[in-house]
Amino acid sequence: MSAVKVTDRISAVSILNPAMRIFDVVMKTEYGTSYNSYIVRGDEKAALIETSHVTFFSHYVEMIKQVCDPSEIEYIVLNHCEPDHSGSLRDLLDLCPNAKICVSRAGSIYLKGITNRDDLPLVIAKDGDSIDLGGATLKFIPAPFLHWPDSMFTYCEEERTVFTCDMLGSHYCEPYIYDTAVTYPAKYFEALKGYYDAIFGPFKPYVRAGLEKLSNLDYDFACTSHGPILTRDGKLNEVLRLYNEWSAQVQGEVDIPVFYCSAYGNTEKLAQAISRGILRAKPDAKSEAIDINSVEMSVLQARLNASTAFAVGSPTINSDAVAPVWELLSHVDAINSKKRPALVFGSYGWSGEAVGNITARLNGLRMSVFEDGLKVTFVPSDEDIKNAEELGFRFASSF
């Protein structure tokens, strides 16, 4: 891609990566992504906002050169220091010998570890600080946990533009960078929601705070760091509405799903009995036994992380819980699951390590694991089923 003009003083120098299918190891990106970066040219100085993934460094530099000589860049603003934003910084500094790096205090600490340099020319951007480029001013607005503690927005009032970093972004890539040019809007909004759930789902109070800060700004362009640039004439208002909707506080129903895998139907029988016990204790709650292998993992992940409490069961194979159970547990929202009640169970044939191993994992997440769980050898007897139902009842009565 070539550099693209956004406003009189702002150009996008964004890398498109339509082939990407997995972001940060765990996040599926069916529609690729982009690493958006921008140059703001004032009458006197130029600033670069965000850098790019280091893999694309040479192409990225070529685009910068379409807008200005890199040596003219006097500020590199990093709204967030995750390597998809900061990865090119170290090499870029060689081409931008005059550049100072504007970053939050938290970001300054991360950058030292990311670049392995402690001589970086840092300018710590505090709330309300600004830099004057001559006819264009960049004002820094802290936006913590959107999506790391270091995150901030950068606002250019003269160009009616806010640089929102990850917020309002999407892993979505089409050849043109404006929201008005998106060819497949349904796919775009699907990608927007997937991105929101994965990146911001755990940080809803911070999303609400970020939206509040954005509502105090006058802007027509939201220059995100991934996906299309959002415009008032395009999808910006709808995306803001969706973010407000998705991050709203809701008084939801009590949901206590019972996840399980079962090799021969024995752990499944325990799951069903536990769910019956849960519903006996809390008749108005939602609870059912869910075979992990029968439901899309992203759906299970969302259900688990939105649950009031949950139970999880596995047979023991190779002295451990089975892989689908571990995959589900790898998606637990570690930030918001502290003290979430959890119950562990499973049928086994010989050694039965699954329950202990899952319990150790959930304790490591600082969840509130109920009693010692339930282990049953081979086929549950009538008494085992009765015990499982009673366990479910005690579990659901405990919170």
Q: Find the shortest distance in angstroms from Cβ 351 to ligand FEO.
A: 41
Q: How far is the CB of 290 from ligand FEO (least distance, A)?
A: 31
* Alpha-carbon span 48 to 102, nearest angstrom: 10
Report whether 366 contacts 338 (CB < 8 A).
yes
Which residue sits closest to ligand FEO, CB atoms considered?
82
* Cβ proximity to ligand FEO, 9 vs 80, nearer residue: 80
Least Å distance, CB 175 to ligand FEO, is 21
* Three-state DSSP string of the chain: CCCEECCCCEEECCEEECCCCEECCCEECCCCEEECCEEEECCCCEEEECCCCHHHHHHHHHHHHHHCCHHHEEEEECCCCCHHHHCCHHHHHHHCCCCEEEECHHHHHHHHHHHCCCCCCEEECCCCCEEECCCCEEEEEECCCCCCCCCEEEEECCCCEEEEECCCCCCCCCCCCEHHHCCCHHHHHHHHHHHHHHHHHHHHHHHHHHHHHHHCCCCCEEEECCCCEEECCCCHHHHHHHHHHHHCCCCCCCECCEEECCCCCHHHHHHHHHHHHHHHHCCCCECCEEEHHHCCHHHHHHHHHHCCCEEEECCCECCECCHHHHHHHHCCCCCCCCCCEEEEEEEECCCCHHHHHHHHHHHHCCCEECCCCEEEECCCCHHHHHHHHHHHHHHHHCC
What is the smallest separation between the CB atom of 165 and ligand FEO, expressed in angstroms? 7
User: Which residue number, 166 or 268, has a Cβ lying nearer to ligand FEO?
Assistant: 166
Q: Which C-beta is closer to ligand FEO: that of 80 or that of 340?
A: 80
Which of 17/287 has CB closer to ligand FEO? 17
Q: How far apart are CA 245 and CA 204, in angstroms?
A: 11
Contact residues for ligand FEO (CB under 6 A)? 80, 82, 84-85, 147, 166, 225-226
* Min dist. Cβ of residue 82 to ligand FEO (A): 4
State in angstroms the smallest separation of the CB of 43 from ligand FEO. 31
Q: To the nearest whole angstrom, how small is the minimum distance from the Cβ of residue 85 to ligand FEO?
A: 6
Q: Which is nearer to ligand FEO, 35 or 393 (CB)?
A: 35
Q: How far is the CB of 168 from ligand FEO (least distance, A)?
A: 12
Closer of 151 and 337 to ligand FEO (Cβ): 151
Phi/psi of residue 307, each to 5°? -75, 155
Shortest distance, position 79 Cβ to ligand FEO, whole Å:
10
Q: Closer CB to ligand FEO, residue 151 or residue 266?
A: 151
* Residue number, 29 or 347, with CB nearest to ligand FEO: 29
- Tell me whether residue 225 or residue 272 sits nearer to ligand FEO (CB atom): 225
